[in-house]
Structure 1
Amino acid sequence: SGFLRNISYRKSKNVYQGGQGKELVVFPGSVLFNKSGQWIMAAELVETSRLFARVAANIKPEWLEPLAGPLCRSSYSNPRWEKKSGKVIANQKVTLFGLVIVASRPTNYARINDKTRVEARQIFIESALVQGELPGSYRFLEHNLGLVESFEKIEDRMRQRGVLVDDYTLYKLYDNRLDPYVHDRASLNRFLKQRDNEKNLFMDEKDIILQTPESGRLSDFPEELPINDFTVKVSYSFNPGSDEDGVTVKIPLDLLDHVSPEFFEWLVPGLLAEKISFLLKGLPKNIRKQLIPIQQTAAEITSGLSLYQGSLYRALEKMIFKQFRVRIARSQWPADKLPDHLRVYFLVLDSHGKKLMASRNFADLSIPRPPKKKPAALDQIKKKWERQDITTWDFSGLPEKIPLHAGKNYLQGYAYPALKVDEKGHIAIKLYTDLAESCKVNQQGQLALYSLQLPRQFKLLKKECNLPSGSWALYEGFDSRKQLSSDLYQFILLEIFQCRDGSWPDQESFFKLVAEAQKSGLFNIAKKYLDMILDVLQERRATLDHISKLEKMSGKKPNAGTNFNDFRKQLQAILPKDFLLHFTAEHMKAAIRYCKALVIRLDRAYASPAKDKAKNSQLTVHLDKLKTLAPQDPSPQCRELVEEYRLMLEEYKISLFAPEIKTQFPISAKRLEKKWQAILDSC
């Protein structure tokens, strides 16, 4: 210990750094030469050409601090809260004659001196209390953190800071209520043992909020959104740049097929005006300048909208055209440029609430799914609702769909009741988890139930629907006369009893139809449909005969340019083999007009193929557009628009090739273009 000033640590082989900036070398004659350790102490230092350490020995640096005592100098850095120990610690560095003998040692920061105790108290309050990093259970802290968190969530929902006080204010609240000696968990525990001290640490709303949010404004940021018969959870984040910034909607996987992306275009009421304003500002300049001032226009439009009714964009287009006479195409909306907080963040969850997938694009949520398991709740629901031996309508309390819950808050889907008829004609109420299957089964089940009320009438009608074998020419091109008769019988029943879509009529409607059939006679009601079908079949036969006649005549005509097989295909498109299974009475009436128009076109094409070809080129432009539609399953709105477009094409054919036949509604190439634009905007 008498040679403390002669300590040194190795810089390189045999070269050492001594105290007070001296550099020394192990004497070549020393036993430590080329064998010295990291730290050495020399009995003497001899300076010749260099400063040599003679009579040296290896030492350990941890021996030095107890021996040097007050000769050591300490410095402290990085004071911080340590949750595990429940106190504020810092890194202590110890030097002896300028040499570092302890590089970094954790030490209790509050015990160093009065100044560090004050700093430790500040860090303790900021980290342990304000940030909630204090280990253990403390009622006042749980209460205060919960209160702060509730208002932080309100700020996130409203995307507005300034409701809650800042961290410094929270720090001062604790600083004023805690005794000066409280600087760690142990001192806090001593403080809390004194009477009423913990009670004084409980905060209330007036302590931590700057302004109280209006209840009406807060309701514009709901924590649940009702969709059909269920609700989805909604959470909020005010953290621009993060994945979940804005509105997050949590959708159970089993409900993904039951929600429409159009619903979420509306976002939440509190953000709708901002979204509409952004959309208006992103419109082309020639449109945008007609809507100035944008903020005022957005507010007026928002107040006039019926929320969550169809597509937001379609509603905006209608509202803007109504108020400003300005047309906006779907492709002109800057939907792809919306900031994240104005687009829903979809979070798909499994039955345990675990995240499966997340995206701001609903179309991305196509998760490969395992074979659908029967919902656990289905067996219990079946016991309540399924019945055997149904003979009349005595189930008026039966709902159209029954929710299937797995647990208190998790909806797995729905069960759809249907009347099922077996091979023996027995009818039962069965539940299905697939709506399409339920409707298909229920269609035939309802007809079977009607037949139980009108057995003789059904039998007579079926007999009358057996088409006579002598009229074989009417059936040419169909699978068989027997199949056509069966389809005819089915068509008439579905028209009379209005159950083509498989939906449920109410009890009153059911018995009203039965009473009407009993009073008027089922066959008498059906006769108009039977005559209609025969008219259609006869018109079809006449059209086929006319095609064959002109085809035969064309063999004697030089340079005949008419493609008669193409006309047969057009007739097949008008009346396919299974038309009775898909057509309604309105379709039948239209089919007769289409056949007559086809005959007129055929005559004119036969007389002037070039003119027909020229007119057909006008039609082909619109027909070819249908081929460009994506093969994916379209939305109901898209399917409806496409069917309207197909119907318009049939009427357009009449206006082009047989204008003497009146169209069902005004039609033109311009109207077709407009309808096609609507399809592009929606599909």
Structure 2
Amino acid sequence: GTGARGRRRTTGLRHQRREAELNPPADRDVFEGIVDALRELEREEPGDVLVFLSGEREIRDAEEAIRGSLAGRNRDDTEVLPLYGRLSARDQHRVFERRRAPGIRRRVVLATNVAETSLTVPGIAYVIDTGLARISRYSTRSKVQRLPIEPVSRASANQRSGRSGRTRPGIAIRLYGEDDFESRPEFTDPEILRTNLASVLLQMISLGLGAIDDFPFLTPPDPRGVRDGVELLRELGAIGPSTGRPAQGDGGARPPRLTRIGRELARLPIEPRYARMVLAGRAEGVARETVIIVAGLTVQDLRERPLEHRQHADELHARFKDPTSDFLGLLKLWYYLEELGDELSSSALRRRMKAEYLNFVRWREWQDLVRQLREVTRPLGIDTSRREGGAADPDAVHRALLTGLLSHLGIRDELKRDYLGARGTRFRIFPGSALAKQQPDAVMAAELVETSQLFARTVARIDPAWAEAAAGDLVKRRYAEPHWERKQGQAVASETATLYGVPIVRNRRVGFAKVDPAWSRDLFIRHALVEGDWTGRYPFERRNRQLRREVAELEERTRQRGRVADDEALVEWFDERLPDDVVSQPTFDRWWREAQRERPELLDLTRADLLGDDAGPDDEGAFPREWRQGDQRLKLRYKFDPYAPDDGVTATVPLPLLARLDPVGFDWGVPGMRAELVAALLKSLPKATRRNFVPAADWARRLLALVDDRDGGTTPVGGFRPDRGEAVPGPLTEVLHGHLQREGGIRFDAAEFDWEKVPSHLRMRFRVVGDDGRELGAGDDLEALQQRLKRASEASLAKATSMAAALQDAGIAPEAGRRQRRGRGRGGDTPSPSAPAAAPAPAADSPAPVAEQRDLDAWPLDELPASFDLRQRGGVIRAYPTLKLADPAHPGRSRIDLALATTADDQAREHPRAVAALLARSVPTPAGYVQAHLTAAEKLSLAASPYRSTEALLADVLAALARDALPAEPVRTRAGFEALRDRFNAGLVDAMFDAVKLVAQVLQAHREATVAIKDANALAHLGSLADAKAQLAALVHDGFVSRTGIERLRQLPRYLRAVTHRIERLGQNAALERAGSIEMEQMLALYREAGGELPSAPDAPAGLVRARWLLEELRVSLFAQQLGTAEPVSPKRLRKAIAELD
């Protein structure tokens, strides 16, 4: 070592503490003990002092404590010198210089255990031993290498004491008791027993030292430890497969090969788990955070919990808890102490940490480790500097940490209320963790500690799927539920991935072809080629689909199963033609591009492939595809599925034509099923009547062959064709009833036929569709459908009015639009949504269509008809001429149009407000006169309104007055409008004066409420203040006068005073305010769910408008009850009003 080796001299040994004393915390007594020992040595002969400390940070703190003690006693004859490995050469040389500065009588050298054996410091007469050192030690509990500060062995303590007797007799003072010394181990554990074998193995492989079993250790490691070390290195991705031949011994193989990750791990002098985290931190962009956490995991926890102050300590430490991660809690603690250290001196920081139950010495130890890690990782290009632009992504931090903790994963087991860990272990989260009460679905832990049971310490909530990429080949996969996926065009399965038995991925969909090609091929043929459930579009597929549809319709119409080849036969057919490697749509696409060039017909089915030699009957007359009634044509669809609701024959009815259909005729059914239908009707008769007509099938044939007298005796019952538009003699049951009475000679009531007993496939079914082809209703009772869809049918019929007006304005004859393209939907029975409807034509005996007009400034016509009719597809379309505002929110300045409403409801809603707007514009406005005669206070109030100007406000008042003047009956004639205008004009000035005064009161109340809100700015009331502001904005806004209406406007001052009252009493009853706020939030949510807005939309239904004002009355009831309400109101009443909205 450096320095002179002196002879061994007599050494006096002193123990500073007696064993009866309790060991106080190190950050309270170690430095004070050093100062006390130095004072004690001042009574001895002059000589230099060597103080043994555990690390660089402790040396700095001791130096500060000693200098503070010397300064307080005006002692300037002592020089304090640090000595540690990272000290610069110049500073180290100062320790070994024999010359002293003038006036220096004593030197105090503060050293780590580097001065224990490696160095001899000249002039040392005294030694002060703290008895502590930083010792590298592998923890079998946490499976990580740690660098804890711990008591030294007796041999090391004696070695330290001996340093005082190297050059002269001296004294050694131990800052611990004699019993403490005797209780220590005799020697420090050998390195091989203090080191994680993974680290040893990694370095041996990196240095090429051969198999560990052949290495001549003085203390051979446990073979099980060797295997564990190899498994850990494999888990970390540090080693790959062995490249040499097998060797003799326990290992059974030559050293594995280092991967790129392994080579980098070998360059980091820290435990491989932590090194792996640091490397992953670089990849994730969170190296700084990872290094801080790794160092924090290595040192002992800074947070102390003295028994007598445990609750207080926990309350203070709760600041550093993160509800999702104990690791992030470490980061919070670091950032807090780092910021505190920038603000305080070391002494002040020590006092502050002591007050907050944080260990100062361990904090310094943590900082030292972080600094050292930053230095050793810098050559690997790992940037640990402060980041710019915000905090790190917590997920990225956890992903980096997870790479070193793959065997410390756990998945929550709800039944056993614990976690399933690696290799079947089970553990619980340690109660002291921030996540102990949350019990996340998946966690990772820094260590697993077994006491009364296995506990996970320092845990974080994670996504277990993160482990898949880091674990690589360690992941085991299992597949279940293989099935066909149309979008991907292949068979997929549910994959479960496990790591050491822990499920990290559950039920993930993956391609199944690589797992089981044969099964995937079968699913592809069955679903894609046979069922057509894929995105492939090929000519052969289109031809096959059309052919299969045609032959399948035979079974549906004739209700004869088994005539067409089933799916299994088709699977075999395709299987014979496809090569074995076609297992999915992508592989099929590649193969078929080449195969079709040689045999384009290879995959074309033929009629013989599907039917064999039995083509069977196909009577289009017996099973028509279309039903005609008058000038209407309805598509018929056949289905043979006794368990389906649409089994049998279904007529597709466009909604506009529904109202025009006559049930008579449909009850006769299609000719091919009529004999079965008649037999079923006979069987539906009561037994006393039915027994006269057996067997029913024979009677049915007989009845159908009879000539109906009402047809002039020329057409048999079975020969009527209502499906072709032919008239039938009446309802089928009445016709059968007449023949049966004549042929059977008995009398019975026709009502005895029971249609409910007739099989559903024999009763004509109706499917009503909208303009887009979507089903709106279905059933076999046509009259019930017509009643149920009456409103929808009327609305649909009204949609064509705009087309009729456009054609009329353009001078186009209605016939020009009658030709239409017919589209085929799925099954070919519905019009294509893109197919245009036939152009409407005026109906007979209907008022002439009214053309739309824009931007009216006078009444448009002598008489505005309430409605007029148009014809389209045999149906009647009714239009409702109405005046309409282009901008209902601002009637005073909105454009007024003559439009065609689709329903009477639209007309009733739009017409009155547009008439009111036209009325306001038809009279001279008294706004200027009224404004000139307002009081100063009223002018001031109006000037502060939300309107863009006072003129705009007065125009809105005029619009509101006009709306208030409308009669109950709608105005539809020019004469009626002019009479209304004259009446309105006569009393307009007085009415406006009254209205403006009312508006001024509203604005004054609004101003008072606004001032009250500004004055009440306490943070505790932010929610209530925000609610009040929103209420004011909904009550008083640009256009509020006409939107509110004169009648309701009279209530606004009370609503606004209620706001002021509420704000002024915010601090008087917090519970009442909170309860009221919660109630209002619920009511507002219900109102908005029902479609309500604040303020109400101009075209809002009357029910929503009523609910909107009930909300205001409820506010008065909750927050200013003494002001009273205009009507009884409560949350229950309001809920009922909202629930009753249509």
Please, what TM-score do these two structures have when normalized by structure 1?
0.50
The structure with higher relative contact order (CA 8 Å, sep 6+) is: 1
Higher helix proportion: 1
Q: TM-score, normalised by structure 2?
A: 0.31
